[in-house]
Amino acid sequence: MFKHLRPSIRAAIGLSILAGASTSVLADSSKLTVISFGGATKVAQTAAYFKPFEQSGAGQVIAGEYNGELSKVKAMVDVGQVTWDVVELESPELQRGCEEGLFERLDPAILGDTSQYIPGTVSECGVATYVWSMVMAYNGDKLKTAPTSWADFWDLEKFPGKRGLRKSAKYTLEAALLADGVSRQDLYKVLATKEGVDRAFKKLDAIKGSIQWWEAGAQPPQWLLAGDVTLSAAYNGRIGVAQKEGANLKISWNGSLYDPEHWAIVKGSPNKALAERFIKFASQADTQKVFSSQIPYGPVHKQTLPQLPADVQAQLPTAEANMASAQLVNAEFWIDHGEELEERFNGWAAR
């Protein structure tokens, strides 16, 4: 997940959002280390959350980045030397880390009225910060006929050329089964069986020679623009950024796989109270409006969408039309089966 933006919104926003913040807090040089996935997402987070939080007088944000490795968090907690305060996490890592005691329990009261958040986005150890989608993307300047499904993605005769896929079992196996005719409703039921996994890999075998694997979110739009691939799985935000910059890249939302990203506080953070203030600040409708204006990832606060222009709303995974044919990534499934499936996938991809 992964994404480069032109920072365009610099005004201080919502200074009254942060209850209890005062200049005296800033005076003691409070510093909060917030770790996210970097790229264009971090640029948007800086404009929407990091800088306005500092301007509110709460404290200084030291923004870092990583690739979602839970092992780094675990190492800090295990030795009792916690240098990260707030981390951005995918759903399985949040759940797994919560079960392993790597995160502080989140008091939902700090968020205010939790009914104002999309269902399932406030949990025991974290709160979702945005919703993103893995979508199928293509270059509108190069294709006269628009692909409309993962079955089209697999159709090398109708759409000749290379295919971009993320180098991981997660998302790739789901796309393979959707391409093979499995319904969204039955997707994880099928994938939970040996026969279903075999079926997914057999489907991947059919296009293996045409796959160009990507590991960084910036690669799919680059490859599509260069003509290196005809179709690619991609993070919707990366495509949205390229569109903002004038590229005629397009998205097929049918069969998209959506997933929330979450904020969590590392267990033993020396700045827990300030971390809670930051999470509250970044979870309000006004700040999320700025974030979604910068990069087209869906807000989780229900009052945000109505504040956004119609053309921005249409680009978001949480738009009604885009959600209609989308599938939520099953975090519990990947917690239970992720390790074995990634091991099999890596062995298959290496052959």
Residue 303 lies in a domain: yes
Q: What is the pLDDT of residues 147-187, one digit of tens each?
A: 999 999 999 999 999 999 999 999 999 999 999 999 999 99
Give the predicted TM-score (pTM) of the model: 0.81
Is 330 strand, coil or helix? coil
Backbone angles phi and psi of 137, in degrees to 5? -125, 155
Give the model's pLDDT for residue 250: 97
Residue 16 lies in a domain: no
Residues 249 and 310 reside in one and the same domain: no
Residue 2 lies in a domain: no
- CATH of residue 46's domain is 3.40.190.10
Q: What is the DSSP letter of 235?
A: E
Burial tier of 309 (Cβ tally within 10 Å: 0-12, 13-18, 19+): exposed
Give the model's pLDDT for residue 3: 39
Residue 312 lies in a domain: yes
Q: Sorting pLDDT into bands at 50, 70 and 90, what band is 262?
A: very high
Residue 4 lies in a domain: no
What residue numbers bound the domain in which 28 lies? 23-131+260-320
Residue 18 lies in a domain: no
Residues 209 and 343 reside in one and the same domain: yes
Residues 32 and 164 reside in one and the same domain: no
- Please name the residues in contact with 306: beta carbons below 8 A apart, sequence gap of 6 or more: none
Q: Sorting pLDDT into bands at 50, 70 and 90, what band is 269?
A: very high
Residues 75 and 59 reside in one and the same domain: yes
Residues 226 and 251 reside in one and the same domain: yes
Task: Report the chain's mean pLDDT, rounded to a whole number.
Answer: 91
pLDDT, average across residues 294-313: 94
Model confidence at 25: pLDDT above 80: no
Residues 338 and 209 reside in one and the same domain: yes
Is 257 strand, coil or helix? strand
Long-range contacts of 106-111 (CB under 8 A, 24+ apart): 106/264, 106/265, 106/276, 106/279, 107/276, 110/276, 110/279, 110/280, 111/279, 111/280, 111/283
Helix (H) or strand (E) holding 260: strand 249-265
Give the model's pLDDT for residue 150: 98
CB distance 203 to 180 below 8 Å = yes
Give the model's pLDDT for residue 23: 34
Give the model's pLDDT for residue 260: 94
Residues 181 and 38 reside in one and the same domain: no
Residues 52 and 182 reside in one and the same domain: no
Residues 127 and 139 reside in one and the same domain: no
Model confidence at 90: pLDDT above 60: yes
Counting residues of the chain whose pLDDT is more than 90, the rounded percentage is 85
Residues 197 and 344 reside in one and the same domain: yes
Residue 7 lies in a domain: no
Number of separate domains in the chain:
2
Residue 337 lies in a domain: yes
Q: Sorting pLDDT into bands at 50, 70 and 90, what band is 40?
A: confident
Q: What is the pLDDT of residues 216-252, one digit of tens each?
A: 889 999 999 999 999 999 999 999 989 999 999 999 9
pLDDT, average across residues 39-59: 95
Give the model's pLDDT for residue 318: 87
CB distance 9 to 308 below 8 Å = no
CB distance 130 to 261 below 8 Å = yes
Residues 206 and 251 reside in one and the same domain: yes
Residues 220 and 335 reside in one and the same domain: yes
